[in-house]
């Protein structure tokens, strides 16, 4: 009797373990999809925002300083650079800048 209970318990444990693994796999897949979507929106918004800011800065500079079209050209390119930097930073490929300044508390 004790033997059969023991074997039944082991069987149940094995079943539960395989079921848990399945569930985890499934959850992992779902999480992956959702994370992928969130990441895509995050990265594209980082990139587009920087290009957009560059273009606006260039346009405003051109309008007030009369340097058209050079401000637009240069700042749009800088915007692309900043966009790439933003994206690389948010995926952690580039470290946050280490700044030479330290606050009074530190």
Partner 1 sequence: MANDPISQFQLSKLVPIEIGGMDFSFTNSSLFMVATTVVAAGFLMSTTANRGLIPTRLQSMSEMAYEFVASMLRDGAGSQGMRFFPLVFSLFMFILIANLLGMFPYFFTVTSHIIVTFALAMLVIGTVVVYGVMKHGLGFLKLFVPSGIPGVLMPLVVMIEVISFLSRPISLSVRLFANMLAGHITLKVFAGFIVAMGAQGALGFMGAALPLLMTVALTGLEFLVAFLQAYVFAVLTCMYLNDALHPSH
66 binds partner 1 (CB under 8 A): no
CA distance 68 to 40: 34
Q: Which is nearer to partner 1, 14 or 27 (CB)?
A: 27
Least distance to partner 1, CB of residue 26, Å: 15
Stretch that binds partner 1, among 11-19, 20-28, 40-48, 59-67 (CB under 8 A): 40-48
**Near partner 1 by CB under 8 A: residue from 7, 10, 18, 45:** 45
For residues 37 and 78, what is the distance between their CA atoms, to the nearest angstrom? Answer: 27
- Residue 76 neighbours by CB under 8 Å, 6+ apart: 51, 54, 55, 58
Which range touches partner 1 (CB under 8 A), out of 10-18, 19-27, 52-60, 62-70?
A: 52-60
- How many C-beta atoms lie closer than 10 Å to residue 86's C-beta? 19
Give dist(CA 82, CA 15) in Å, integer. Answer: 53
Could you say whether residue 42 binds partner 1 (CB under 8 A)? yes
Give the integer Cα–Cα distance in Å for 17 and 13. 6
- Which residues form the interface with partner 1 (CB under 8 A)? 34, 38, 41-42, 45-46, 48-50, 52-54, 57, 75, 78-79, 81-83, 85-86, 89, 96-103, 106
């Amino acid at each position: 009797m004790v033997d059969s209970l023991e074997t039944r318990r082991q069987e149940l444990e094995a079943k539960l373990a395989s079921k848990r693994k399945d569930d985890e796999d499934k959850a992992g897949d779902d999480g992956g999809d959702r994370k992928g979507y969130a990441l895509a929106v995050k990265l594209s918004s980082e990139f587009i925002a920087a290009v957009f800011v560059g273009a606006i800065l260039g346009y405003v500079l051109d309008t007030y300083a009369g340097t058209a079209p050079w401000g637009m050209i240069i700042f749009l390119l800088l915007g692309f650079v900043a966009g790439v930097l933003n994206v690389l930073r948010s995926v952690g490929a580039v470290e946050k800048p280490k700044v030479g300044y330290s606050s009074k508390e530190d």
